[in-house]
Structure 1
């Protein structure tokens, strides 16, 4: 599968996701600033479909590898009852990579899909702390052995945040074990994502975050710092945010990039 085919396939899947998800919600007017701020909330009660492209290089022991990532990440909430919501967050990665280690060659296709389920109370704890928890599954869907872990994984996930005027801040964390054979025998990974977002009166959201990970089996940290800016628009009645930013790798594991990465982000919003 070529990089062009990856883009075409992902656009098709995105269109299908949008059609399915938009049929489950009713549009009501909201001001643009409030909508722009919703992208910072992993426990949002509206359907959001983020599409994130990222380019990385300087990968591998000889720093000669490069990778194009395209992540399609639909967030779909469900009302369980008057007191609880269930928020689903699925990450589908499309990958095109070259020479990530000597002799690896090129690979293109789908990586492992991650699906998280957050049970979240409707009323914030203490009146300000929005949080949710639940299982997370890593599915062995990679189309090439070099694009995934070659095993299914299972774990627990938690997210907590607060909204303070134009500011949204909190963290998301999970831990995933390989689920085949002895639990965690192949991999045991902790993911930690603190985030701080600020939304302006002009409906632009700035985000500072770190999608850090620790590999317990290999005793390795991955610590990138990302700064992005996204502006709210409406195109043909469709609410969306478009932006991008940079990522700097403070600490890289053996399979990570080094120095700087670039990203472009598109968020499709479907207000209730």
Structure 2
């Protein structure tokens, strides 16, 4: 009888621990679906694209994009985010040519209400930082403009969108001015296990060159732990729906690792 009681107790506590782990994973997945959640995260997003342009080129872009929320009052948060691309490309500019290095970074700061029940939103500035290390990977222009995000979360679903518009205000005079719109609608469904299925569309409109680039990125994701480190993994295909003449890619894939630091 004592052995049965001990086994029942162990199974009960294992169930409690597993349920708590699932609750934690579900909550983390919900926050990760929200670009302005109060959660420190460091995503490494790798995009590999093939069959680009007339020379059948390829490009690998590793976006390092840490997100750090800061409480500025009891009613407002500021969520800072930077996207720093590390790029390697082959046969893009000419057959047999390779370029590698940093691309220009985009830094954003979203001011968002600390408590929002129905609609989560944030607005603020976006900065284009000309840190690119190769002439083909940088605009050599410093730019700025507004950015905004809004989303709704309900019953496992997250639906929303992010937008920014950047104009160049300084930089190399021999380079073309920048006037660029970026729009990113997104939708995600997360199960209680922390697994998720989602997609976003990345639409870039270059007003100066009158060109449009659109990527569709479906992903399958999961939240887990590596030791004590909470981590999210995501993977999926990339579909190039539109691109400047001669620059459209055939296909690609995205893999993401996000290191999480819950408060």
Q: What TM-score do you get using the length of structure 2 for normalisation?
A: 0.86
Aligned to 2:183: 192
3-state secondary structure, aligned to 1:141: coil
Q: Give the Cα–Cα distance (whole angstroms) in 1 for the partners of residues 61 and 208 of structure 2.
A: 25
Q: Tell me the CA shift for residue 201 of structure 1.
A: 2.1
Q: How many residues align?
A: 240
Q: Is the 8 A contact 1:57 1:63 kept in 2?
A: no
Matched, 1:45 2:44: no
Q: Give the Cα–Cα distance (whole angstroms) in 1 for the partners of residues 195 and 250 of structure 2.
A: 27
Which residue, out of 118, 130, 133, partners 1:128? 118
Which residue, out of 56, 60, 75, partners 2:67? 75
Matched, 1:170 2:160: yes
Aligned to 2:92: 100
Q: Tell me the CA shift for residue 256 of structure 1.
A: 4.4
Q: Is the 8 A contact 2:242 2:248 kept in 1?
A: no
Q: Is the 8 A contact 2:55 2:95 kept in 1?
A: no
Aligned to 2:111: 119
1:51-101, Cα deviation, whole Å (9 max, x unpaired)? 1111112223x1422111111100000000001000001011111111212
Aligned to 2:16: none
Kindly report the root-mean-square deviation, in angstroms, between the aligned alpha carbons of the 2 structures.
1.9
Q: Give the Cα–Cα distance (whole angstroms) in 1 for the partners of residues 74 and 158 of structure 2.
A: 25
Q: Give the Cα–Cα distance (whole angstroms) in 1 for the partners of residues 239 and 121 of structure 2.
A: 28
Aligned to 2:228: 237
Matched, 1:157 2:150: no
Q: Tell me the CA shift for residue 255 of structure 1.
A: 7.2
3-state secondary structure, aligned to 2:136: helix
Q: Give the Cα–Cα distance (whole angstroms) in 1 for the partners of residues 108 and 48 of structure 2.
A: 25
Matched, 1:147 2:140: no
Q: Tell me the CA shift for residue 254 of structure 1.
A: 4.1
Aligned to 1:91: 83
Q: Is the 8 A contact 1:250 1:259 kept in 2?
A: no
Q: Tell me the CA shift for residue 217 of structure 1.
A: 1.1
3-state secondary structure, aligned to 1:168: strand
Q: Is the 8 A contact 2:55 2:94 kept in 1?
A: no
Q: What TM-score do you get using the length of structure 1 for normalisation?
A: 0.84
Q: Give the Cα–Cα distance (whole angstroms) in 2 for the partners of residues 104 and 94 of structure 1.
A: 20
Bigger Cα displacement from structure 2, 257-266 vs 225-234 = 257-266
3-state secondary structure, aligned to 1:180: strand
Which residue, out of 128, 145, 153, partners 1:138? 128
The structure whose Rg is larger is 2
Matched, 1:215 2:206: yes
Q: Give the Cα–Cα distance (whole angstroms) in 1 for the partners of residues 63 and 245 of structure 2.
A: 22
3-state secondary structure, aligned to 1:179: strand
Structure 2, unaligned stretches of length 5 or more?
A: 1-20
Q: Is the 8 A contact 1:39 1:267 kept in 2?
A: no
